[in-house]
Amino acid sequence: MDIQRLAIPEIAILKPARFGDSRGFFSETYNKQRLAELGIDLDFVQDNHAYSAEKGTIRGLHFQTHPFAQDKLVRVVRGAILDVAVDIRLGSPTYGQHVAAEISAGAWNQILVPVGFAHGYCTLTPDTEIIYKVTNYYAPAHDRGILWNDPALGIPWPVDEGDAILSDKDRRLPTLADLADPFPYPG
């Protein structure tokens, strides 16, 4: 498995090996021991599967607060997304900054988004399916988010604001400045 650290080094792109022949391919998309050898030692407890019918669907920017905060390992099994992670660790040198990466079934890559980051994505193709692992269970009382188009974040989403497809919940999320419970920066 190859690993590439992004501009905020806690965020990583992982690329599992894929072995193909005339029948198709085989890939080990998750191996706890191999990830631990790369410095990623996480205990995933839940897998989630999301489908978005339309290009331009935005989901996020989401996170859960302690004690239900979640690390996420996200991969696309059909289609492509622009995946975004925003640092919400108060006191971090990169607080309020984001990184973005294209994650797609064709590139066969994954993104690791640790606790302390708000996470979201925009579908780049119709009929996009995402599977992601999390290190904690869904807890509605701890479910939080930041407004996807908060001008303070400066995220260059690949869809015009008027064309973005969002849930009512995501349209009502607070801005980063109004975030009531950011994570502490451990450094």
What are the catalytic residues?
Answer: 62, 132
Do 90 and 177 form a contact (C-beta atoms < 8 A)? no
Please tell me the distance from the alpha carbon of residue 1 to that of residue 102, in angstroms, as a whole number.
Answer: 18
CB neighbours of residue 77 within 10 Å: 14
Query: Which residue is listed with tokens 């009531």?
Result: 180
Non-local CB neighbours of 159 within 8 Å, separated by 6+ positions: 55, 56, 58, 122
